[in-house]
Amino acid sequence: MRLFISFVCAFVLSAFLPGSSAWAAGAPELEAWKQQGDSAYLQKNYPQAVAAYQQYLKHNARNAAVYYNLGNCYYRLQDYPRAVLNYERTLRFSPGDADARFNLQLVRTKLEDQFGTKNEMFFVRWMDAWMNLHGADGWAKWGIGLFVATLALFLGYLFLRPVLWRKLTFFSSLVLFAFVVLANVFAAVQSARTEEPGRAVVMRAQPMRPSPSASARKVVDLHQGTAVDVEDTSVKGWVQVALSDGRVGWVEAAGLEFV
Amino acid sequence: MKSKLLLLLLFICAALRVGAAVKVTARVTPSTVAAGEAFKLEYTVNAANVGDITPPVFTGFEVLNGPAVSTFSSYQMVNSQVTGGSTTTFTYILSAGKAGSYTIPGAVVVVDGRKVKSNAVKIKVVKGQGGAAGSASGQGGVSRGEAMSTYRSQGKVGKKDLFITVTANKTKVYEQEPIVLTYKVFTQVNLTQLSGKMPDLKGFLSQEVPLPQQKSFTLERVNGALYRTTMWSQYVMFPQQTGKLTIPSIRFEGAVTMEDPNIDPIDAFFNGADYQVKVVRETPSVSVEVSPLPAPRPANFSGAVGRLAIASEVVTKTPRTNEALVVRVTVSGVGNMKLIKTPAVKFPTSFDVYDPKMTDRTRLTDQGMAGDMVYEYTVIPREKGKYTIPPLQFTYFDVGTNEYRTVETKAMDVDVAQGTKSVSDSEREMALRNSDIRPLHEGAYLSEAGRLWGSMRYVLLYVAFLFAAGVVAFLLRRQIRRNADTVGRKERMAGKAARMRMKQAQAMWEAGKADRFYEETLKALHGYVSDKFAIPTAQLNMASIKSAMASAGISETTIAQFASVAEACEYARFAPSGEPSQMKETYEQALQAIQQVAAELKRKKVKK
């Protein structure tokens, strides 16, 4: 019995420890690239830092911290469109990164385009902000934690004697279970956003048009660094995008870079 | 000549046709040499897998060395894209016999099994000093570099062998009008070191034009003698005072490598025949006449001197109330850009105006500072409406026409729409604009995405925890059941245990041990009640016994009987009378009390 319990404990612990063997293999060299980039940045040698971070990302394109640092380099080099692109990528892999969110806001004030925000219901905005506190794995961990709490409360309901305690534990375990489901929904949404971010940054100024044709009239001029939502990529060479203020139109795919 | 050119073109075309990717480029350095002097001819191939080279016939040249093959790989970053490649270079050291213009035809290089032909190169050979005598040092001179064979390396270093000149592009200027000073080195000896800096001058604001660290020498003939010359340094001077100003002479200190002709050849072999000679050269001073800007100065003179233009634009396309509105003013051209006063834009009074931000996009050229000075004005309109920002006038002194000029920007129309943001929003916005980015994420900051969610591990975690909870529930239930069983067993066994104890008591009575007899009897009574009614021994007293019996439905008389026996035992324990008859009586009463309780409990159970 005791052996069995210790086995379960070991399994649970190992699940939380980072490190599949494939990831651990190339780590020291990659860390060296990152450290080289960090020290170059601190010495204000930004082009060299950019080169080092790009080397890192060539081998591991999912590290949010490296994207963030690369964004900082481009900000210092006053290459704001690329800074936006890299902060967007940071948020793709780590939506809860408050620093990246702040820097992105700051860079946006330096851009040509200042489109407002769409008028949304307040709870849609709140829900989105809440969901963006964590990435898929963050919510997955919340899910596990809440599930454990749910189980503990349910055991309390099963074995406690006083009726008041039994009622309290029963209903709170029900509420917590609802949160377990919610955390998993959030994790699913964030995971989908990470795999298919559906965001792009304008890297070459170009007009947005109502239809995918160069002869169509223009809706508005888009400038470098403007981030847009990708709506439709089915037309070759064109992408349907939505601006932050909700306007939708077509731009040439060549002038965009996907997050 | 024409046919030769045609042939050349054909060759170039042929080389191009072979493939744009692989190219062989021929280059001579320097492009002008003295007769008898060694020069370098390089064929550079932009590929790694390079075979042999077939050089052209070098008519009129002597091959001193070569081909020397070197390969190197390089990585560079252009527009943040890292590109790389490797190149192979074949180097020949040649020397020309006679003065004249020569064309060296292309060489053929085998690249990946294909033959690629290089371009032809031209070289100009001028008459050397004393003919071919300069190249006497032969192989040694060549190995030290292509530019050294004509250096005089023996004797003293005289004023004529090494001198530095200074030239100013203008000597009569207006205040703030830049003067470019060029320091040029003329040498016939092997100059290995040179240093000399412009001191801080009171009347000038001086800036050094950045020149390449590696100096390249060119040949120049001065008073019939051939010199190697290079532009050593260049300064742009902005006069800050008027009148006759003097730029003092600069003291240059240098070192020249010479050879000792008298040294023993064997000693020279081991220690070298070279020695260093320290030289000091002072440049002549330059006097400049700086005239004040003509009076009267216009009232709104900006202090700018040069050739300038001004432009302005509203950067924010859709201005709204309580949102930042940016107006950009750009002063561009050539002049004393850094000393220009920030132009004052007149904004409507209902706008909150913040300090303008200046961006310097100028660079130092031999004309002065050239480029753009960008001033960005951030304002926040508080009320909606149509506003006009009046034209901005900018007065500067034009050095082309020597008069003051006023240029102006166009008036800017701003249509401010009603925004949704509040005053505090706009304050937050301004705070954001004035802040800096957050610091780097340093160290092992492993925010890897998508490792837990959706993995098998994640599902198994849920299963494991559910299973663990099940195990806990199972264990708890079993424990409870086991506890319940103990009570039941005790209850069932209570009568038996009491009988055992009573037997013990009887033995004591027969042995005449009165105190032990009462003790055992009391134990039997207490133990029976404790087991039967599940009262822990710690809580066992007369009150708890009575209440437990009462709640179990035992009759008053039986309870009283039980209590009196127990009390009698307790009393007798501490004051034993020792009378056997009394002990017998107590024994029978105790047995009766236990039997009575048992009987009543049995009756209850049957009723149920």
What is the per-residue pLDDT across A124-140, written as a single tens digit (0 to 9) for each?
889 988 998 988 888 99
Banded pLDDT at A2 (limits 50, 70, 90): low
What's the whole-number mean pLDDT along residues B27-47?
A: 80
CB contact under 8 A, A79 and B80: yes
Residues of A in contact with B323 (CB under 8 A): 114
Residues B273 and B248: beta-carbon distance below 8 Å: no
Q: Report pLDDT for A178.
A: 96
Residues of A in contact with B320 (CB under 8 A): 116
CATH architecture of B2-144: Sandwich (2.60)
Chain B residue with the nearest C-alpha to that of A89: B449
Banded pLDDT at B569 (limits 50, 70, 90): confident
Q: Report pLDDT for B135.
A: 34
Residues of A in contact with B462 (CB under 8 A): 144, 147
Q: Report pLDDT for B153.
A: 67
CB contact under 8 A, B437 and A103: yes
Q: B74: buried, middle or exposed (CB in 10 Å: 19+, 13-18, 0-12)?
A: exposed
Residues of B in contact with A245 (CB under 8 A): none
Other Cβ atoms less than 10 A from the Cβ of A70: the count is 27
CB contact under 8 A, A54 and B82: yes
Q: Please give the model's pTM, rounded to 2 decimal places.
A: 0.56
Intervals of CATH 2.60.40.10 along chain B? 2-144
Q: What is the CATH T-level fold of the domain B301-433, as seen in this structure?
A: Immunoglobulin-like (2.60.40)
Preceding peptide of B30 cis, ω within 30°:
yes
Flag whether pLDDT at B267 surpasses 80.
no
Interior/surface letters A104-128, b for 16+ CB within 10 angstroms, e for the rest:
bebbbbebbbbbeeeeeeeeeeeee
pLDDT over 90, % of chain B: 4
Residues of A in contact with B324 (CB under 8 A): 109
CB contact under 8 A, B462 and A144: yes
Query: CA of A42 to nearest chain B CA: how many angstroms apart?
Result: 9
Closest CA to B30 of B150, B132, B195: B150
Q: Report pLDDT for A9.
A: 58
What's the whole-number mean pLDDT along residues A131-155?
A: 92
What's the whole-number mean pLDDT along residues B420-428?
A: 81
Chain A residue with the nearest C-alpha to that of B478: A159
**Most A CBs within 10 Å, among B437, B462, B477, to test the A interface:** B437
Flag whether pLDDT at B288 surpasses 50.
yes
Residues of B in contact with A139 (CB under 8 A): 453
Q: In the predicted model, what is the mean pLDDT of chain A? A: 85
Q: Report pLDDT for B291.
A: 87
**Most B CBs within 10 Å, among A55, A159, A224, to test the B interface:** A159
CA distance B134 to B146: 12
Coil, strand or helix at B136: helix
Banded pLDDT at B67 (limits 50, 70, 90): confident
CA distance B42 to B72: 14
Q: In the predicted model, what is the mean pLDDT of chain B? A: 80
Q: Report pLDDT for A146.
A: 96
Banded pLDDT at A8 (limits 50, 70, 90): low
Flag whether pLDDT at B323 surpasses 80.
yes
Banded pLDDT at A23 (limits 50, 70, 90): very low
Flag whether pLDDT at B271 surpasses 90.
no
In the A/B pair of chains, how many CB contacts fall below 8 A? 141
Preceding peptide of B390 cis, ω within 30°:
no
CB contact under 8 A, B316 and A23: no
Flag whether pLDDT at A143 surpasses 70.
yes
Residues of A in contact with B474 (CB under 8 A): none
Coil, strand or helix at B93: strand
Task: Give the model confidence (pLDDT) of B426-461 as tens digits.
Answer: 888 888 888 888 888 876 555 555 578 888 889 999
Chain A residue with the nearest C-alpha to that of B471: A5
Contacts of A106 (CB under 8 A, 6+ apart): B432, B433, B435, B436, B437
Q: Report pLDDT for B79.
A: 62
Residue scoring higher pLDDT (B311 or A7): B311
Nearest CB partner across the interface for A102, out of B82, B438, B460: B438
Task: Give the model confidence (pLDDT) of B363-411 as tens digits.
Answer: 887 777 888 999 989 888 888 889 888 888 888 888 888 888 888 888 8
CB contact under 8 A, A94 and B449: yes
What does CATH list as the number for B162-290? 2.60.40
CA distance A50 to A53: 5
What's the whole-number mean pLDDT along residues B511-524?
A: 84
Tokens of B459: 């599902």
**Most A CBs within 10 Å, among B438, B457, B481, to test the A interface:** B438
Q: Which option is the CATH number for A26-108: 3.10.129.10, 1.25.40.10, 3.40.1280.10, 1.10.1530.10? A: 1.25.40.10
Task: Give the model confidence (pLDDT) of B168-196 as tens digits.
Answer: 888 888 888 888 888 999 888 888 888 88
**Most A CBs within 10 Å, among B315, B442, B460, B483, to test the A interface:** B442
Q: Report pLDDT for B6.
A: 53
Flag whether pLDDT at A202 surpasses 90.
yes
Q: Report pLDDT for B297.
A: 82
Q: Phi and psi dihedrals of B448, rounded to 5?
A: -80, 140
Residues B347 and B389: beta-carbon distance below 8 Å: yes
What's the whole-number mean pLDDT along residues B305-325?
A: 86
B61: left (phi over 0), alpha (psi -120 to 50) or beta: beta
**Most B CBs within 10 Å, among A36, A55, A60, A151, to test the B interface:** A151
Q: Report pLDDT for B285.
A: 86
Chain B residue with the nearest C-alpha to that of A115: B318
Q: What is the CATH T-level fold of the domain B486-607, as seen in this structure?
A: Four Helix Bundle (Hemerythrin (Met), subunit A) (1.20.120)
What's the whole-number mean pLDDT along residues B340-348?
A: 86
Identify the CATH homologous superfamily for domain A199-258. Answer: SH3 Domains (2.30.30.40)
Banded pLDDT at B206 (limits 50, 70, 90): confident
Nearest CB partner across the interface for A151, out of B436, B461, B469: B469
CB contact under 8 A, A38 and B442: yes
Residues of A in contact with B436 (CB under 8 A): 106
CB contact under 8 A, A151 and B466: yes
